[in-house]
Amino acid sequence: MKLIPVVLIFLTLPEVLVERAFFVMGTIIEFKLYCENKESCDKAILDVYSEVKRLDGIFSNYKNDSVLSRVNSYAGKGRISVPDEFIELTRLAIFFSGLTGGAFDITVGRAMEIWSASRETNSMPNTKDMVRAKDCMGFGKIKIYPEEKQIELNSSCVSLDFGGIGKGYALDRAVGILRKHGIKRGIVNFGGNIYAMKPPPGEDGWNVGIRHPRDETQVLTLLRVEDTAVSTSGDYERYFEVNGRRFSHIINPRDGFPVEAVPSVTVIAKDGTGADALSTALTVMRNDRAIQFLDQLKDVGAMIVTEENGRLSIYKNPFFSGLEATETVN
C-alpha cells in the first residue's frame, strides 16, 4: 500500500523543456523537446547529431567523398555497392516517382547543375545543353539490386540528387532516435521539414505557422498538429534567378526547366519522407494536376500557393483545412 503514493509522484514528475539547434546538411535543425531532465534531452540530441552527420556523409552532393558522389561518378560504368540507407532511400524516391507520375524524380541532378551554372552566368542555358539534360533524366535509368546492395545508373550523364527527400528522411531518423530515448513530446524543424510529436503537457497540439512566401514577417496560416510531419517547399530561400526571372530550385522532369510561379507548397503527412517528397512533387504538378492527385490520397494535407501577375492564389485540400488552428493569424 505504501508504494502507491511513490509511484504517483514518479508519474507526475514535471518534464523540462529543452531547446537546441545545430547546423548540419547545409541547414539548421531545431529541437523543442520535453524530457525528464536536461541531460537526457542533450544525450538524445547528440545521438541525432551523429546520425544526421552520418547520413550527410552518404547523401551529400557537396561532399566529394560522399556515397552519392561516388555513385554519380560511377554512372554508366556498371553496378556499385552502396550502404543499406542508399538502397532504402532510392527505393522510396522511386516509389514517389511512380506515385506522382514522374513529378518527383531524383535524376534531376544534371538539370540542377545546368541551372546553377546558368545562374552564375546570368544567361539562359543553351538548347543543346537542355536537350542533353533531358536525356539524362528519368527514374527508369536507375537500377537497384537489393540482394547485392548495389545500384546502377545506366548512362554516364545520369546524376542523382536527394535534395527533395533527404531532409525528410533524416527527420524521420531523428524522431526515431528521440523516441528510442523515451522522448514523446517535442517538435523538430529541419530546414522547413517539421515533425510534431506529442504536444506540450496540457496542450492539444503544436502550433506550426506557415510563412507567407513573399513576406517573411507574415504567417499565411497556423496549423495545430501532433504526431505528424509538415514540409514546405518554397521558391524564396533557394532559387535560380536568370535575367531577372525567378525560377524555383525545383525542376520539372518533363522538360528539365525549373518551375515558375509556385511560391510555396506545404504538405502534411504521416512521416517526414513522404511530406518532403510530396511538397517537391506538388510544386511540379501545380494545381492542374495536383488537385486531382490529392483527391486520391488519404491522410495527406496540402496547401498550394500559386502566383499570377504578382497576385497569390491559395488552394487547400479539406484534410489541410481540417488541421488549421481556429484562431487566425495575419
Q: Which residues bind Mg ion (CB under 5 A)?
A: 164, 276, 279-280
272 binds ligand AMP (CB under 6 A): no
Residues within window 106-145 making contact with ligand AMP, judged by CB under 6 A: 106, 108, 112
Distance of closest approach, residue 253 Cβ to ligand AMP, in angstroms: 5
Distance of closest approach, residue 200 Cβ to Mg ion, in angstroms: 27
The smaller minimum CB distance to ligand AMP, of residues 225 and 250, is found at 250
Residues within window 172-231 making contact with ligand AMP, judged by CB under 6 A: none
- Interacting partner of 284 out of ligand AMP, Mg ion, none (Cβ under 5 to 8 A depending on kind): ligand AMP
Q: Are 269 and 99 in contact (CB under 8 A)?
A: no
Amino acid identity for residue 201 in this structure: P
Q: Which helix (H) or strand (E) holds 7?
A: helix 3-11
4: Cβ contacts below 8 Å, ≥ 6 apart:
none
CA–CA separation, 26 vs 260, rounded Å?
24
Beta strand 245-248 with 193-196 is: unpaired
Distance of closest approach, residue 284 Cβ to ligand AMP, in angstroms: 5
How many secondary structure helices (H) and strands (E) does the chain include? 9, 17
Choices 13-21, 81-89, 246-254, 303-311 (CB under 6 A): range interacting with ligand AMP: 246-254
* CA–CA distances in Å: residue 180 to residues 40, 44, 85, 227, 245: 12, 9, 19, 15, 47
Task: By CB under 6 A, name the one of 15, 152, 172, 276 that touches ligand AMP.
Answer: 276
Residue 78 has a CB neighbour count (10 Å cut-off) of: 10
Residues in the interface with ligand AMP (CB under 6 A) total 18
Distance of closest approach, residue 203 Cβ to ligand AMP, in angstroms: 28
Residue 22 has a CB neighbour count (10 Å cut-off) of: 14
251 binds ligand AMP (CB under 6 A): yes
Which residue's Cβ has the minimum distance to ligand AMP?
163
The smaller minimum CB distance to ligand AMP, of residues 105 and 172, is found at 105
- Interacting partner of 306 out of Mg ion, ligand AMP, none (Cβ under 5 to 8 A depending on kind): none
* CA–CA distances in Å: residue 210 to residues 27, 32, 183, 198, 277: 18, 18, 25, 19, 18
- Residue tagged 491559395 (cell numbers): 314
Q: Are 244 and 220 in contact (CB under 8 A)?
A: no
235 binds ligand AMP (CB under 6 A): no
Nearest to 29 by CA among 54, 52, 47, 61: 52
The smaller minimum CB distance to ligand AMP, of residues 118 and 233, is found at 233
105 binds ligand AMP (CB under 6 A): yes
- Which residues would be at the binding site for ligand AMP (CB under 6 A)? 104-106, 108, 112, 161, 163-164, 233, 238, 249-251, 253, 276, 279-280, 284
